[in-house]
Amino acid sequence: MILNEHFTLLNGVKIPKLGLGTWFIDNDKAVEAVRQAVSIGYRHIDTAQAYGNETGIGIGVRNCGVPREEMFITSKVAAEHKTYEAAAKSINETLDKMGLSYLDMMIIHSPQPWVEVNQSDNRYFEENRQVWKALEDALSAGKVRAIGISNFLPEDIDSLLETASVKPMVNQVLCHISNTPLSLIDYCQSKGIAVEAYSPVAHGEALKNVTIKELADKYGVTVPQLCIRYDLQLGTIVIPKTANPDHMRINADLDFTISDDDMETLKAIPRIKDYGEHSRFPVFGGKK
């Protein structure tokens, strides 16, 4: 069962292959979402400072009935924090909001502040090195068990690696059928950096694609199930977002394998260019 499967990160920490994304889950709904997910078998919950629901997620984790050490909880340093001091302070604030003594992983949400995404050529190399140093220090202090990045391109990662004492353990990126950054995945995996795929159903746009629907029907599964399995077969960790317990169960029911030929068909589906209300993204991702 996929909920019992893990990847091992560079420092030996185990991370469940399937997690629950919580973007757009309101703080007052987050407690129940965590409770439902844990009752189904989820042990990996992903949040962020930018989501505004860390408090609710923390309450859910503390009261879910499962020992803390069996849970894997991720949050993200807000993209606007681009100094050591701001990042370090925000990590402490996240722990306080969540009521947790440690996080399993903390990552940089974006190399650029959101207001500059797709609007600027400034990749904030030096600033991200400062934020990374704050994450390294949090790791050394035992405040987090693993550290990573999100929406980072190879050039961003190369810049970090020039001064980093700890290599990023994860790069969390937009990755789904019709928008699969295969070269970035290959780059990360070649360096031992695990890739996490967010928005595996393309913010719902995959539901509208005829080819995806036909292949889902072929396997007797839903479009979201096909999309999540696709990302898993790329070797990524997957964090589909939902507050609906029925969807949580369906998303975790993945006892099938997409054939090599069908994987190639899915990789070749033309890229989605319009995500409607979610259209403004970084090159490989968005404020998710």
Say what the pLDDT of residue 282 is: 58
For residues 47 and 74, the answer to whether their CB atoms sit within 8 Å is yes
Task: Answer yes or no: 51 catalytic.
Answer: yes
125-140 helix and 84-98 helix, angle to the nearest 10 degrees: 50
Say what the pLDDT of residue 285 is: 46
Average pLDDT over residues 28-42: 98
Enumerate residues 6+ apart whose C-beta is below 8 A from 93. Answer: 49
% of the chain beyond a pLDDT of 70: 95
Residue of 42, 51, 198, 230 marked catalytic: 51
Say what the pLDDT of residue 139 is: 99
Say what the pLDDT of residue 287 is: 45
pLDDT tens, position by position, 265-284: 999 999 987 776 555 555 45
Q: 288 pLDDT band (50/70/90 cuts)?
A: very low
CATH assignment of 2-278, given 1.10.10.2520, 3.40.1800.10, 3.20.20.100, 3.40.50.11540? Answer: 3.20.20.100
Average pLDDT over residues 235-255: 98
pLDDT for 97 beyond 50:
yes
For residues 45 and 68, the answer to whether their CB atoms sit within 8 Å is no
pLDDT tens, position by position, 148-199: 999 999 999 999 999 999 999 999 999 999 999 999 999 999 999 999 999 9
Phi, psi of 22 (to 5 degrees): -130, 15
pLDDT for 90 beyond 70:
yes
pLDDT tens, position by position, 106-126: 999 999 999 998 789 999 999
Say what the pLDDT of residue 165 is: 98
Higher pLDDT, 58 or 279: 58
Residue type present at position 92: N
Higher pLDDT, 275 or 93: 93
Say what the pLDDT of residue 273 is: 77
How far is it, in rounded angstroms, from Cα 78 to Cα 75?
Answer: 9
Average pLDDT over residues 9-16: 98
Average pLDDT over residues 35-50: 98
Average pLDDT over residues 247-270: 98
210-219 helix and 223-233 helix, angle to the nearest 10 degrees: 90
pLDDT for 135 beyond 50:
yes
pLDDT for 246 beyond 70:
yes
Say what the pLDDT of residue 119 is: 86
What's the mean per-residue pLDDT of the chain? 95
For residues 109 and 76, the answer to whether their CB atoms sit within 8 Å is yes
